[in-house]
Chain A
Amino acid sequence: MTDTPAEAEHAAAPEPATPAGETVSAGETVSAGETVPAGGSASAGGSASGAPSRRALIGWGGAGLALGAAVAGGAVAVARSGDDEPGAAGEGGAVAFHGHHQAGIATPVQDRLHFAAFDVKTTDRAAFVQLLKDWTAAARRMTAGQAVGEGAYGGLAEAPPDDTGEALGLTPSRLTLTLGFGPSLFEKFDLADRRPEALVDLPRFAGDNLDRNRSGGDLCVQACADDPQIAVHAIRNLARIGFGKVVIRWSQLGFGKTSSTTPDAQTPRNLMGFKDGTRNIAGTETDRLKKFVWVEEKDTDADSAWMAGGSYLVARRIRMNIETWDRTSLQEQEDIFGRDKGEGAPVGKAKERDKPFLKAMLPDAHVRLAHPDTNAGATLLRRGYSFTDGTDGLGRLDAGLFFLAYQRDVRTGFIPVQRSLAADALNEYIQHVGSALFAIPPGVRDKDDWWGSTLFAKNPGDSHDPKEA
């Protein structure tokens, strides 16, 4: 399966000394500054314009907050009330929004996904830049566990609230929001010369049956959280802010992460029941991240220098023929993967983490074809999720794997691996039905920075404007 590069047991990779826990507690520091100390992001939620909030001015806010705290007895209850109170950051894990890289890549994989691809409708560059700034401001608040804008209640009775409200009272749930630019964006706003060479048009792969309504997009936002409501809330509010400038082209909900960036005792299983991603790149493996995931300055030229610190994301919707797979004998299932089903051990080995002996597997076994040794060392960081979108009208589960993989360059990452998988025995049971590729710009550096500033700051006035960020 595509998630295969997954199976990538990288021979040279060291075992992580201490498996990191899935839940990041307050103040704990995991993986290069991905976790915020408790209360650390409070300032980020401050009113961006510097104006006092409406509620503070009218004087309703104080009473409301006091009441909330008294009733619920804690910061969690008021965490999403829409104002600037601290307290949200540590509760239920807030992941730092600011950083050299965007969160949501090396961040320990959360349980749930809402991924959305957008088409840009506006032709006005300034309007689009403003949207990126507005999105950044909203993302900064939501990832810190705060409501969008002036909140979900307490405002004008006659007007719809800024925030949609379904995340009220919930913790940040380690929400990360990761923005990407699709190849088609570079045809707009005179950006053609700034499209990086590595942002190729993906070739057609054997077996592709792509639905254009589930493919492509000028922009993407990956929302990952431990609570699906938090992820859905984030995409919904960004889409709302974007009306008139961008529209959702397609989206995908995901559950049950199929890979982990925090290697622990249990590797997650995909819907075929197999463990996948035993040796996926961990968020703590700085060396492998540097080698395989992050775009370095030396990878870029003057036009694509804006990508330094970024990455490339391949998204593939892979439908599984669940029913026929379930009628397949255990022996065949294990032969197809090249692992046993119970332990997850490679053919001929005893334990999941034993080094695989590829030649012991059948020539068309999935792990064998996906392994870095078969693909000149090609290694991806995968964050795939399972999906089920009801049934397909023929009584079959519309289910499978929503494959997400980050890499430094798709030409040495996803493309050779996927080509190698043309011979995969698993292909009888899967079909790639959606496909998209995005350039993931570097992280939002601080409270004055905004998503995509390195790409769009070319024009004077667009750059790093503290008043508008």
Chain B
Amino acid sequence: MRAVRLSVVTAAATAAALAAVTGCTEKSDASSEDHVVEVTATDTKCEVSKTEFPAGHVQMDVTNKGSKVTEVYLLFPDDRIVTERENIGPGTRQKVTAEVKAGDYRIACKPGMKGKGIRQDVTVTGGGKAAKRDPRLDAAVASYRQYAQEQADETLPKAKVFTDAVKAGDIEAAKKAYATSRIGWERTEPVAESFGDIDPKVDLREDGLEEGQDLEKDWTGWHRLERSLWKDKKLTDRDSKLADQLIKDLTDWQNRVGKAEITPTSMANGAKELLDEVATGKVTGEEERYSHTDLVDFKANVEGAEKSYELLKPVAKENDAALVTELDKQFAALDTLLDTYRKDKTSYEFTSYDKVSKADQKELSDAVNALAEPLSKLAAAVVATK
């Protein structure tokens, strides 16, 4: 471990440099021709007038010459969005501006507003060049960001199945769709929570209401509907409205997930936070107190943590091989243990948590602790740069 920590200063500098990019403190100088980039988007191409421009206020003049609605992004190397413009119709022109520091970026057009887009590497020149991060870590962050986006994209249709059943008053169908509609969210919870305002709308539990908030008026999201289904055992007009609200809030999440601030260390600590979620909410059965579907969330949290970990593993292994060995072992042990609670390893039908004995809950808790403690050391193992 000691060798790893030598790089702490470098890592801190990198983090500071990245943070500075979005600082937007430089004077506007967009009037200069140097700072204008012509972007010509078609259904198959994304052409830029220059691939190198000076740091400062940059303006992208976008022309959509294709037949599909497109969107244009300026991206960091890790796919974080610097700026974007959606809904650029065929034949229309749009201006997109941003303040950028020196460094490597990408311009991406997404014809049909789908997929990773057509990308073009660009370089912003000038003083105060940002320290380069290990490209493998940028790739890891980019992959994780994509994973988070996929989870949000896949959640929406599943959530719709759930909310449609709620609106149709079909209690049994709604119960059946409830836990699966949450899997994508639970897998990427630290990213979802990073927006602050979405989490309390969709995933708040009864005890999470703040002082002065009204249980009937202010409590929205999955767990409110969970209570209607399993405790109140009836669906009302209010629940239909809650169902619509849930879709609205999840759509908001889907739209914003690409802008989440994600770094290699936040990925590592996010993995640990997923295990913390398990340790504080799922193991105790508090999370799904009416439906007792805690083990589904549990599994999703572990899967999300594992995704983060797998992406960071190549770098972590160089810096702390023993930690990687331990994490591999403990992930496998927890996964094996979880598998004993479902008949089919591909399904998400887990034992109802109220049927899990105290002794078995202790065993699950022990396995979570055994994984979460070494996982808390993952961040230290990825900050080193080679």
A residues lining the B interface (CB < 8 Å) = 49, 51, 54, 57-58, 121, 150, 155-160, 240, 243-245, 247
Contacts and interface: CB of A to CB of B under 8 A. Distances in A.
Contact of A244 (B9, B268, B370): B370
Given A155-B5, A156-B379, A245-B370, 18 more contacts: A49-B2, A54-B2, A54-B5, A121-B370, A150-B5, A156-B380, A156-B383, A158-B269, A158-B380, A159-B380, A240-B373, A243-B370, A243-B372, A243-B374, A244-B371, A244-B374, A247-B369, A247-B370
Nearest to A149: B1
A82 to B, nearest CB: 13
A155 B380 CA distance: 10
B5 A243 contact: no
A58 B370 contact: no
- Give the 4 A-B residue pairs with the shortest CB-CB distance, closest first: A244-B370, A159-B380, A243-B373, A158-B379
Contacts of A57: 6
A157 B2 CA distance: 15
Contacts of B2: 49, 51, 54
B382 to A, nearest CB: 9
Given A54-B2, A54-B5, A244-B330, A160 B376 contact: yes
B8 A243 contact: no
B373 A159 contact: no
Nearest to A54: B5
Contacts of B371: 244
A158 B265 contact: yes
Contacts of A58: 6, 8-9
B377 interface: yes
Contacts of B372: 243
A156 B265 CA distance: 11
Interface in B332-386: 366, 369-374, 376-377, 379-380, 383
**Secondary structure of the B contact surface, majority rule:** helix
B24 interface: no
B222 to A, nearest CB: 31
Interface in B233-271: 265, 268-269
Q: Name the prevailing secondary structure of the A interface residues.
A: loop
Interface residues of B, number: 24
B363 to A, nearest CB: 9
Given A156-B379, A156-B383, A244 B5 contact: no
Contacts of B370: 121, 243-245, 247
Nearest to A130: B322
B13 interface: no
A158 B14 CA distance: 13
Pick the most buried of A58, A243, A245: most chain B CB atoms within 10 A of its CB.
A243
B247 to A, nearest CB: 36
B12 interface: yes
A243 B369 contact: yes
Contacts of A150: 5
Interface string B1-20: 01001101101100000000
Contacts of A54: 2, 5-6, 8
A89 to B, nearest CB: 25
B326 interface: yes
Nearest to A239: B369
23 contacts: A49-B2, A54-B2, A54-B5, A58-B6, A58-B9, A121-B370, A155-B5, A155-B8, A156-B5, A156-B379, A157-B12, A158-B11, A158-B265, A158-B268, A159-B379, A160-B376, A243-B370, A243-B374, A244-B330, A244-B369, A244-B370, A244-B374, A247-B369
Contacts of A244: 326, 330, 369-371, 373-374
A157 B376 CA distance: 12
Which of B9, B11, B12, B366 is the most central at the interface, judged by chain A CB atoms within 10 Å of its CB? Answer: B366
Contacts of B380: 156, 158-159
A155 B377 CA distance: 12
B8 A247 contact: no
Nearest to B268: A158
A372 to B, nearest CB: 42
Contacts of B369: 243-244, 247
A214 to B, nearest CB: 14
Contact of A156 (B8, B330, B366, B374): B8
Contacts of B379: 156, 158-159
Contacts of B6: 54, 57-58
Contacts of B265: 158
Nearest to B359: A213
A309 B383 CA distance: 47
A57 B2 CA distance: 10
Nearest to B368: A243
A240 B9 CA distance: 27
Contacts of B326: 244
A156 to B, nearest CB: 5
A198 B384 CA distance: 52
Nearest to B266: A158
Nearest to B330: A244
Nearest to B3: A51
A243 B366 CA distance: 8
Contacts of A157: 12
A156 B15 CA distance: 13
Contacts of B376: 159-160
B10 to A, nearest CB: 11
B26 to A, nearest CB: 27
A150 B383 CA distance: 17
Nearest to A49: B2
A71 B374 CA distance: 36
Given A57-B6, A243-B370, A247-B369, A159 B377 contact: yes
B141 to A, nearest CB: 14
A156 B372 CA distance: 18
A343 to B, nearest CB: 48
